[in-house]
Amino acid sequence: MKSLYIIGAGGFGREVAWLVERINAVEPTWLLEGFIDDNPDVIGTIVGGYPVIGGVDAFGDLDGEAWTVCAIGSAKVRRKVIEKASEYPNVRFATLIDPSVLMSDRVIIGEGSIVCAGNIVTVDITLGNHCIVNLDCTIGHDAVLGDYVTVYPSVNISGITDIGDCVELGTGMQIIQGKTIGSEAIVGAGAVVVKDIPARCVAVGSPAKPIRFFE
């Protein structure tokens, strides 16, 4: 079994720990050593039955390979933390897929990505590195998700969609077939995307429309 550390000791981190337990129940794969979290208030505590070992710099004190995933929902924060963790030569990034996921063998999933319970991922789909697909989502044929995409629970992504890097898709939102969402866009909960969404904006509503752009 390979030693695994979850970055982020919050609520989603505890859900990822449960995901690891579910994987191990089917095939023992990971020795979950605990959490990595830069919040000094949680370092040294026990979260969900696992110790919070230290901040990201704790990777420098570990011997041998240290496999990790980042359980931080914010795409931009996750990218920043992973870039920091990548500076340590012993760090390796795990890909975690819940045993309940329905997925064809024509799906490419990048390193460090997390696919939670109850998802359906059909055919000829690409998920980039360090993506999170939370509970109960569907991803249709020929969809392409870039790096650091966060898909919150109960999202429906139709086929032939193109989702840029660091996009966040809010709980319960939907994307119709053939649409593009630009990098670093945030689409709000319950939104319905029927037209392309530009990069670096917040879009809400049904139909989804940009209401604010980032500098």
- Give, for 82, the enclosing helix (H) or strand (E): helix 75-85
pLDDT at 200: 98
pLDDT at 191: 98
Architecture (CATH level 2) of domain 97-199: 3 Solenoid (2.160)
Query: What residue type is assigned to position 95 of the chain?
Result: T
Q: Hey, do 2-94 and 97-199 end up sharing a CATH topology, with the first three levels equal? A: no
pTM here is 0.96
Q: How far is CA 123 from the centre of its chain?
A: 20
Q: What is the dihedral of CA 80, 83, 88, 90, to 10 degrees?
A: 110
pLDDT at 189: 98
Gyration radius (Cα) of the chain, Å: 17
In CATH, what number does 2-94 get?
3.40.50.20
pLDDT at 178: 98
Extents of the domains making up the chain: 2-94, 97-199
CB 180 within 8 A of CB 208: no
pLDDT at 55: 97
> How confident is the chain (215 residues) per 10-residue block, as mean pLDDT?
97 98 98 97 96 96 94 97 97 98 98 98 98 98 98 98 98 98 98 98 98 92
Instruction: Spell out the residues 6+ positions from residue 77 whose beta carbon is closer than 8 angstroms to its own.
Output: none
Tokens matching residue 90: 């012993």
